[in-house]
Each structure stands twice: as C-alpha cells, then as structure tokens.
Structure 1
Amino acid sequence: MKNYDLFIGVDVSKLKLDITGIDQDNAIHLKHCVIRNDAKEIKKYFRKMLKNQGKPMIVGFENTGVYSALIAFVLQELGIDYCQLPSLEISRSRGISRGKNDKIDALKIAQYLLSHRFKISLSTVTEIHLTEMRLLYTHREKIIKSISQYEKEFENTDFLPREIQKEILKSTNSILKSLHANLKKIEDRLGVILKEHAAMEKNFKLITSIPGIGKQTALYLMIVTKNFTAFKEARQVACYAGVAPFPYQSGSSINGRTKVNNLADKKLKSLLNMCALSANKYDIELKEYFQRKVGEGKNKMLVLNNIRNKLLARVFAVINRQEPYVNLRKYAA
C-alpha cells in the first residue's frame, strides 16, 4: 500500500456527491463540498484537485451500484487510486452514533480510509464485457420471474368460465410470447460474449465439465469472481456465498454450534444448493459421501453444505489447472 497524504471520503447519492478530505493527522485538509453526480463535473473537480494538491491521495466511497459507477470510471481514467467499500462495513465501523447526514458520512468514509489504510485493497473498474454480462444476467432473472408470475394466470382456467377469462388469457399469451422471445435474445447475447473472449469461454467449459454444475451457475460464478480474478481460492468464494461454517464461542459460557453466516450472496448460495442436490443425485462419489456421512449420524443439511464446498473446490481446481474435470472413479473401476 502506498503512503498516502490525503484521504478523501465521498458519499454517493443519485444526484450529488459529498466530498471531504483529511490528512494523516485526521485533520480536515479538504473542506466539505458538494458536486453533481455527473461525469463531466466529477472529472473537472478531480483534475483541479490533482493540479492544486500534488499529494499522494486515495478516494473512498460506498459501492452503491450504478450510482457509484461514474466516479469509479472517472477516477480510473485519471489514474487516481480509489476503493469501493461495502456500506455495511462503513456503518459498523462508526460505532455508536446518533443521527446521520451526507456531510458526516463523507467524513466517516475518509476516517475509515485513514484508520484502515494498511488493510484496504484498491478497486478497479470491472471490464466492460463482465459488466454487460452482469446486467444481462440480472435482466434474465427478472424475465424468468415475470414468466413464472404470468404462467400462474392459467391456474384459474379450471375454476372460472372461459368466457370471463378470454381477454385476460389472450393478453397473457401475448406477454408470455414476448417474454420468451426476449429471454432467448439475452441468452444468445450471453453466448456471443463468451465466444468473443476465449479465456472466458474456456473457463466456462471447464466449470461445466464438473458434474452437478450447469450453465447458469457457471456464468454467475464467472460474473461474481470477475472471471476468477477477484478471489484467490475456493474458501474465499465459500465465505462470500455463505457456505463456509464459522464457530460461535466465547469464554466458557458461550459455546454455540458452528454454522454458516447470514451475510452472503444469496443468489450464489441458492445456485450452489441446487448444484449440490444435482451432484448428490448423479455424481457417484458425492452420493456415496452423502450416504456415508448421514449413516454416521451427521445432519443432512450439514453434509449437503459440505458438498457445496467440495464443488467450489473442484471449480477452482479445474480453473487453476486449466484442464477439465476427470472422474477418476471410471478408471479405478
């Protein structure tokens, strides 16, 4: 980590950015100001700052999705070090506090940067094709949810006269036809993006060579790991997905059971659960493992969670080796 002289906290909202800067002595070096959350305005402000300050600086702001995308792109373009921080991490670092406003939040982010300067990792803008994949995947999920909702309309056909539902069913069929057409376009575009990037296409094929892991799980894993550059090992992804167990113990009075944490990517956890169920059904090795552990008296969900972790370990194994999964049981037999 570089030795920074200026720590700048930015509170991001839809229309504006609140900015405050402090030095290494926690003294206000950059008075609070407000600028529009607009690429031109952000670029103008930080260019002026680079010209006037001339000091090593780092900028920190909460990851607010699309609202924080502009400042991230501008800072990377200008070559300014920055860090996107989880909102929960910032709020918990504040300790006991009463009330809040954007000015105070910007200062707290700057103070967080100062106090954690030896621990924080610099952020980079996600590659354009990965950002597009994330947006397409999210849109695909919305369409699938809409299809499921509209298909429920047909449940009423057995209980009400068809004349009453005629117009509703006609409209529903039209909407479903359009949704399915758009779903196919999105899936085709996702396939095109993979083909345009050889490294991603290869990783996709490697992941789907593992029994139990399907195309959608493989795509989502590549999106959240930024094509396996954001995480170094399977245990980190297991923690991110909420399938890594943690102890709950303190002194002699508190000795709770080891369990997974609720802070997780619930979508990834759900996908891994479906993969574990599929692998338990079709992968002989994991099926025997499940039956053996349950026979020993282990909780079924605990064993299933172990299978989720085993699948993640297999994913990182094939990615690191750059070779497809090999079922050794075939050769052992």
Structure 2
Amino acid sequence: MKNYLFHAGIDISKDKLDISILDSSTLQSQHLIIKNDMKSISDFVKILKQKIDINNTLFCCENTGVYTNHLSFVLLNNELDLWVVPAVEIKRSKGISRGKNDKTDSKDISYYSYRHLDKLNLFTLADVDVQKLKILFTERTKMIKALLILQTSKENKEFTQKEVYKEISGVNGTLVKQIKNSIKKIEIRIKEVIKSNDQLSKQDQLVKSIPGIGAQTSAYLIIATKGFSSFDNWRKFACYCGVAPFEFSSGSSVRGKTKVNHMADKKMKSLLQMCVLTAIKYDPQLKEYYNIKKLKEKIQCLL
C-alpha cells in the first residue's frame, strides 16, 4: 500500500470546493476554498505542486454526482490519486458529532482518508462512450417519468365534461407525442454508441444472450460497471445491486430473517427483477429451476 504523506479532504458543492490538507506526520491541517470550475482546480493543482509532494497526496471526496466531474477530470489528467467515497460511509465513520459546516466536513473527509487506507479504492474515469451512454440513459429515464405523469391526465376524460377536457387534451397529446419521439431518438442513439465501440458491442451481445435481458438492461449494466471493469467478482456486484442476502443475528436470542440490504443501486435491482420475471416466464429450464427452489422454500417453512 502506498504511504501517503498528505491527505486532501474535499467537500464539494455546486459553486465551491472546501479543501483541508492533512499532514500525515503532524496531523495538522490547512483549509482553503476554491471555485468548482476547471480553471480554478487546475490552478490549485499547479500551486500545490510547488508546496507539497503532490504525487504522495491522496485526494478524497464524497460522491456528489455531476458536481464531482470537474475535480475528477483535472486530478486524473494530472495522474493524481483520487478516492471517491459514498457520503453515508463518511458520515457513519465520524461517530457522535454536533454541528456541521463545509470546513469541518472537508476536515472529516481528510481524517477518513488517513484512517481508512485499508479500504482504498482509487477512482477511475469511465470510457467516453460509457459516459455518453450514462447521460443518454439518464435523459431517457427523466422522459419516461414525465411521460407517465402526462398520461395520468387521461383519467380526467371519464370524469370531466368534454368541453372542459378539451382545454388540456390537445396540448397534452402533443407533449406525449413529442416525448415518445424523443425517447425513440435516445434509444437509437444508445444503440449507435454501443455499435461504434467494438468492446462495448461485444459486451452488449454477450449480455443480451442471457435469457430475460434486453437492450435497456444491457446498456445499464455497461454503465453501472463502467464496461465491466468496476467489480472484481460477481459477489461484489450482487452486493452493489442489493440482491445478495445477509444474515441478521446477535447472540442466542436475536435471529432475524436473512434478507437483502436497502443500500443498493435501486435502478439496477429493479431491472434485474424484471429480467428474472421475464426469464421464468419464457425460458422452460429457468422456470423449472425457479419452481423447484420455491417448493424447497415452502417445505423448509413447514418444517
């Protein structure tokens, strides 16, 4: 494991970055604030190179979605080590705390980085095509939600006078058509991006060869795994998806039901569930296996 001399904890917001740089030898930290844009972060890296050994510095931040993009792009382009940690993990590692502000948050992140090096998993940028798929899939999800909301207006037709319903029926119908056309265009573009990349195209074909898995699930699998490079084995991926069961027991008296954890990629979990339902419906062998497992579970409950 690399022996880092400094740990930079970064609290990210839309407009600014609060940075606490912790010296591993003295455990003293310095705090500074910069803008959350490419130029400011690039200038910060240049200045930091002159003051400390930046190649032996571990940059650590919470996963804040798109707000992390500028920071991750600049740091990885400069071949610097970045660790992106789920916010809930840092929060739970703090123990009992009172009060909260961006300065103390950045300091807490730097201390987390220093104390939990055994959990280190360096961040890597996804391939450009995977990034394209991610933003396309996100827009498709938004449009489907909007479409479902607009289509609820049809319920008014049965309970409203025709003269009254006409006020919104025309506009609503136009919007629904436009959104449906946009969804089709996005789906076509997703297929084009996958086909243009030989590696992603092969992965897509292999995934879709599994019974029950269609185009959208295949695309999201590629996105969630960064082209099947983010997870070392299927066990970690099952845990990430929230489909791996965990024991719940303590001592001799507490014997809870073995169940999955709620902390998961809910989108991936729901897609896999739909794939399973499709597979057991149309694939005879999987259907037979499912019925056998279900029967065994019923027998165990009776015993």
Runs of 4+ in 1 over 6 A off after TM superposition: none
Q: CA deviation at 1:23?
A: 2.0
Write out aligned runs for 1:211-222 (5 A).
Answer: 211-222=211-222
Equivalents in 1 of 2:7, 2:287: separation in Å?
A: 53
| Aligned partners of 1:26 and 1:114 also within 8 Å | no
Write out aligned runs for 1:161-180 (5 A).
Answer: 161-180=161-180
Equivalents in 1 of 2:253, 2:97: separation in Å?
A: 30
Aligned residue number for residue 34 of structure 1: 33
SS in 2 for 1:121: coil
Number of positions where the alignment pairs a residue of Structure 1 with one of Structure 2: 298
Measured on the aligned residues, the alpha-carbon RMSD in Å equals 1.4
Equivalents in 2 of 1:98, 1:49: separation in Å?
A: 32
Aligned residue number for residue 255 of structure 1: 255
Tell me: CA distance 1:23–1:178, structure 2 relative to 1, closer, same or farther (3 Å): same
Aligned residue number for residue 49 of structure 1: 48
SS in 2 for 1:155: helix
Aligned residue number for residue 196 of structure 2: 196
Please tell me the residue identity of whatever aligns with 2:38.
A
* CA deviations over 1:281-331 (Å, ceiling 9, x no partner): 1111221112222223439xxxxxxxxxxxxxxxxxxxxxxxxxxxxxxxx
Equivalents in 2 of 1:166, 1:207: separation in Å?
A: 46
Q: CA deviation at 1:266?
A: 0.8
Q: CA deviation at 1:45?
A: 0.8
Equivalents in 2 of 1:43, 1:160: separation in Å?
A: 59
Equivalents in 2 of 1:272, 1:297: separation in Å?
A: 21
Equivalents in 1 of 2:51, 2:112: separation in Å?
A: 24
Aligned residue number for residue 9 of structure 2: 9
* CA deviations over 1:13-60 (Å, ceiling 9, x no partner): 11111111112245214x111111111011101111112213511110
Equivalents in 1 of 2:157, 2:49: separation in Å?
A: 67
More off after superposition, 121-130 vs 204-213 = 121-130
Equivalents in 1 of 2:84, 2:294: separation in Å?
A: 43
Equivalents in 1 of 2:233, 2:183: separation in Å?
A: 33
Equivalents in 2 of 1:11, 1:159: separation in Å?
A: 52
* CA deviations over 1:218-243 (Å, ceiling 9, x no partner): 11111000110001222111101111
TM-score for the superposition, normalised by structure 2: 0.94
Aligned residue number for residue 148 of structure 2: 148
SS in 2 for 1:189: helix
Q: CA deviation at 1:195?
A: 1.2
Please tell me the residue identity of whatever aligns with 1:276.
V
Equivalents in 1 of 2:255, 2:10: separation in Å?
A: 41
Please tell me the residue identity of whatever aligns with 2:49.
L
| Aligned partners of 1:26 and 1:111 also within 8 Å | no
| Aligned partners of 1:59 and 1:83 also within 8 Å | yes
Equivalents in 1 of 2:80, 2:210: separation in Å?
A: 41
* CA deviations over 1:39-93 (Å, ceiling 9, x no partner): 1011101111112213511110111011111011010111211111110110011
Equivalents in 1 of 2:255, 2:158: separation in Å?
A: 55
Please tell me the residue identity of whatever aligns with 2:170.
K
* CA deviations over 1:91-138 (Å, ceiling 9, x no partner): 011011111111111111111111112321111122222112111111
Aligned residue number for residue 113 of structure 2: 113
Q: CA deviation at 1:171?
A: 0.3
Tell me: CA distance 1:286–1:175, structure 2 relative to 1, closer, same or farther (3 Å): same
| Aligned partners of 2:5 and 2:25 also within 8 Å | no
Equivalents in 1 of 2:156, 2:253: separation in Å?
A: 56
| Aligned partners of 1:60 and 1:85 also within 8 Å | yes
Equivalents in 1 of 2:229, 2:242: separation in Å?
A: 19
Unaligned 5+ segments in structure 2 are: none
More off after superposition, 225-234 vs 123-132 = 123-132
Please tell me the residue identity of whatever aligns with 1:82.
L
Q: Aligned pair 1:205/2:205, yes or no? A: yes
| Aligned partners of 1:133 and 1:223 also within 8 Å | yes
Give the fraction of aligned pairs with identical amino acids, expressed as a percent. 42
TM-score for the superposition, normalised by structure 1: 0.86
| Aligned partners of 2:12 and 2:64 also within 8 Å | yes
Aligned residue number for residue 277 of structure 1: 277
Please tell me the residue identity of whatever aligns with 2:249.
Q
SS in 1 for 2:249: strand
